[in-house]
């Protein structure tokens, strides 16, 4: 091979199967860990200065924040297993809460929390005891969950979540307080545009699952520390290599192997896992696979407003659901008390706005001021009107819009030994950490089979 510059890898053992994993998000890290564990010589190439991708640490005001507050579920089987594989203890990294949708008291919301009972009793009990719902709302919830169970959480023909809710005769209040916020939080797509099939998959693994699978897991560490950085240490221990600040520009064929070019440096590998976001993946596959090159998604934004108050400010619970009513300038959908999750972040609240395109039109200053007013009003705490500092992080392409009948590519490409990994590949799940991890594991398995 013509070496155009410094080599990215130098395989010393001829028989070693060398794999470039491009992108150190959760999908790339999962693939690289699985491959390294299987004896492949892995080189993980990441354009940014740290691993994690769309679930990563962001340092601001001397704090380790995240690019967006994330929630994991007890059903995230493969993510939890991988956290263990790389030597961390999930119970020390994540705090478990029972499935819940709890609004601040006296704000016109509801209080729904699953008790410690085996499934499906936990759900039945939660519906029966939910405060803030009328009998008609509870009957609607019961109707939905029994019908969904009867259908085994599956639909033959996809439709929008709104159409599904109409079919099951859901009340306006249940839609506003339960289904709409759940749909936006899980699929990052409003119910009128969201896929009912994928929504049912998420409900199957939360409302419909056993008690521990339905638990909500909140990170006690920043998102890069939660898995990606430990994954990097694991890969290096298995004699793999990890490079940051390396933006891959081109992949070309060299006989049966692949040349990976990044910033004037080219190196040769037996195989490639392309774990970049879909828009980068289609660019890199431009001349290699026309169907991947032409894939197009619409994207939805997620915005997190970090609001710092005096360290004595503490919410009564670690997180609350909020009623978002853009027509009344109420944008916040969930608020998290970071001080209850991270020892050094007392007084810091994170307010999440999913599918946030409209909120972002407000401008950051205006949005923060409206969000702090919303908190002050619904929590009846006037001191929340004024922050010490605030910061807004918007991920414009946070996730693909999870619409009905969306065609998502499989992990395979037209090229032997190039596979895809990422939250957008075909699966049951919307764009989530677990979707990304599972895709990474599938990619690694496919390469191990092709080896
Ligand atoms: C604000 C926000 C909130 C979210 N909330 C949740 C939640 O609560 N629960 C949940 O489960 N999921 C949530 N998600 C979704 C979840 O974060 C993503 O689905 C997941 O992180 C995607 O991982 P990935 O590895 O597929 O892609 P990415 O994380 O996008 O990884 C791709 C990597 O490739 C790198 N890269 C790009 N181009 C190149 C190149 N040319 N060369 C080398 N490297 C390159 C990128 O820097 C990146 O590190 C949220 C996402 C966001 C943005």
What is the reported pTM? 0.94
Question: Crossing angle of helices 26-37/433-450, nearest 10°?
Answer: 40
Instruction: Give per-residue pLDDT as tens, 328-361.
Output: 999 999 999 999 999 999 999 999 999 999 999 9
DSSP 25: B
> Which residues have C-beta within 8 Å of that of residue 287, sequence separation ≥ 6?
252, 293
Q: Which residues line ligand 1 (CB under 6 A)?
A: 22-28, 45-48, 53-55, 67-68, 70-72, 247-248, 275-277, 280, 302, 395, 398-399, 422-423, 431-434, 436
CATH of domain 99-204: 1.10.3110
For range 376-393, the mean pLDDT = 96
Q: Which tokens go with 219?
A: 């990170």
Give 387 Cα–ligand 1 centroid separation in angstroms.
30
Hey, is 83 helix, strand or coil?
helix
Task: Kindly report whether the peptide bond that precedes residue 327 is cis, defined as omega within 30 degrees of 0.
Answer: no
Instruction: Give per-residue pLDDT as tens, 164-210.
Output: 999 999 999 999 999 999 999 999 999 999 999 999 999 998 888 88
Q: Which tokens go with 109?
A: 């919301």
Q: Give the nearest ligand 1 atom to 48 CA.
A: 47
Pick the closest to residue 45 from 318, 244, 179 (CA basis). Answer: 244
The pick from 22, 25, 80, 411 for probing ligand 1's pocket by mutation, whose C-beta has the most ligand atoms within 8 angstroms, reads 25
pLDDT on residue 2: 32
Residue 417 pLDDT grade (very low, low, confident, very high; cuts 50, 70, 90): very high
Residue 203 CA to chain centroid, in angstroms? 16
Q: Give the nearest ligand 1 atom to 24 CA.
A: 49
Q: In the chain, what percentage of residues exceed pLDDT 90?
A: 87
What value does the mean pLDDT of the chain take? Answer: 93
Q: Which tokens go with 411?
A: 């992990």
Contact of 221 with 93, CB cutoff 8 Å: yes
155: number of CA atoms within 13 Å, CB side? 22
pLDDT on residue 16: 57
Residue 412 CA to chain centroid, in angstroms? 22
DSSP 399: E
Q: Name the class of domain 299-400.
A: alpha beta
Residue 3 has pLDDT above 70, yes or no: no
pLDDT on residue 264: 82
Instruction: Give per-residue pLDDT as tens, 17-42.
Output: 999 999 999 999 999 999 999 999 99
Q: Where are the domains of the chain?
A: 18-61+223-297+405-450, 99-204, 299-400
Give 449 Cα–ligand 1 centroid separation in angstroms.
26
pLDDT on residue 389: 97
Task: Please name every residue paired with 330 in a beta bridge, in sequence order, or none if there are none.
Answer: 325
pLDDT on residue 320: 97
pLDDT on residue 451: 62
Of all residues in the chain, what percent are helix, strand and coil, respectively (each to 5)? 35, 25, 40
Protein residue with least CA distance to atom 20, ligand 1: 433
Which of the two residues, 197 and 114, has the higher pLDDT score? 197
Give 66 Cα–ligand 1 centroid separation in angstroms.
12
Overall size of the chain counted in residues: 451
Give 445 Cα–ligand 1 centroid separation in angstroms.
21
Q: From 3.10.690.10, 3.90.1110.10, 3.50.50.60, 3.40.50.1820, which CATH number describes the 18-61+223-297+405-450 domain?
A: 3.50.50.60
DSSP 17: -
Residue 12 has pLDDT above 80, yes or no: no
For range 64-82, the mean pLDDT = 96
Q: Which tokens go with 360?
A: 């972002």
Give 423 Cα–ligand 1 centroid separation in angstroms.
8
pLDDT on residue 300: 96
Q: In the chain, what percentage of residues exceed pLDDT 70?
A: 96
Protein residue with least CA distance to atom 35, ligand 1: 23
d(CA 121, CA 441): 33
Which position has the token pair 């009513």?
Answer: 325
Give 90 Cα–ligand 1 centroid separation in angstroms.
20
Give 244 Cα–ligand 1 centroid separation in angstroms.
16
Which position has the token pair 């970071």?
Answer: 338
Identical fold between 18-61+223-297+405-450 and 299-400: no
């Amino acid at each position: 091979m013509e070496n155009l510059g410094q080599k990215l890898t130098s395989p010393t053992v001829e028989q070693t199967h060398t794999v470039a994993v491009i992108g150190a998000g959760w999908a790339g890290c999962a693939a690289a860990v699985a491959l390294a564990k299987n004896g492949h010589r892995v080189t993980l190439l990441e354009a940014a200065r740290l691993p994690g991708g769309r679930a990563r640490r962001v340092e601001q005001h001397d704090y380790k924040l995240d690019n967006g507050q994330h929630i994991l579920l007890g059903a995230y089987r493969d993510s939890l297993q991988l956290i263990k594989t790389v030597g961390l203890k999930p119970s020390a990294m994540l705090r478990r809460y029972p499935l819940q949708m709890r609004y601040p008291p006296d704000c016109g919301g509801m209080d729904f929390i699953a008790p410690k009972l085996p499934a499906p009793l936990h759900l039945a009990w939660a519906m029966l005891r939910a405060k803030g719902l009328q009998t008609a709302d509870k009957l609607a919830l019961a109707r939905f969950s029994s019908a969904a169970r009867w259908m085994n959480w599956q639909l033959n023909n996809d439709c929008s979540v709104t159409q599904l809710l109409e079919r099951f005769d859901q009340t306006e209040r249940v839609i506003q307080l339960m289904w709409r916020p759940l749909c936006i939080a899980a699929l990052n797509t409003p119910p009128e545009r969201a896929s009912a099939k994928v929504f049912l998959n998420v409900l199957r693994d939360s409302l419909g699952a056993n008690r521990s699978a339905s638990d909500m897991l909140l990170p006690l560490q920043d998102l890069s520390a939660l898995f990606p950085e430990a994954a990097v240490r694991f890969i290096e221990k298995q004699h793999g290599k990890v490079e940051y600040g390396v933006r891959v520009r081109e992949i070309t064929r060299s006989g049966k192997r692949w040349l990976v070019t990044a910033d004037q440096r080219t190196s040769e590998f037996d195989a490639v896992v392309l774990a970049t976001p879909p828009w980068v993946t289609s660019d890199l596959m431009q001349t290699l696979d026309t169907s991947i090159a032409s894939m197009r998604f619409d994207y939805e934004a997620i915005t997190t407003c970090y609001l710092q108050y005096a360290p004595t400010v503490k919410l009564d619970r670690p997180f609350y659901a909020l009623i978002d009513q853009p027509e009344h300038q109420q944008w916040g959908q969930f608020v998290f008390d970071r001080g209850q999750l991270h020892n050094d972040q007392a007084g810091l609240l994170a307010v999440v706005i999913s599918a946030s395109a409209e909120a972002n039109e407000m401008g950051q200053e205006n949005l923060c001021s409206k969000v702090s007013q919303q908190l002050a009003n619904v929590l009846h705490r006037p001191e929340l009107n004024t922050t010490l500092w605030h910061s807004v992080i918007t991920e414009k392409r946070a996730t693909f819009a999870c619409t009905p009948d969306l065609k998502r590519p499989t992990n395979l490409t037209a090229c032997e030994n190039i596979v895809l990994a990422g939250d957008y590949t075909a699966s049951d799940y919307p764009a989530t950490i677990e979707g990304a991890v599972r895709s990474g594991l599938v990619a690694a398995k496919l390469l191990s089979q092709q080896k």
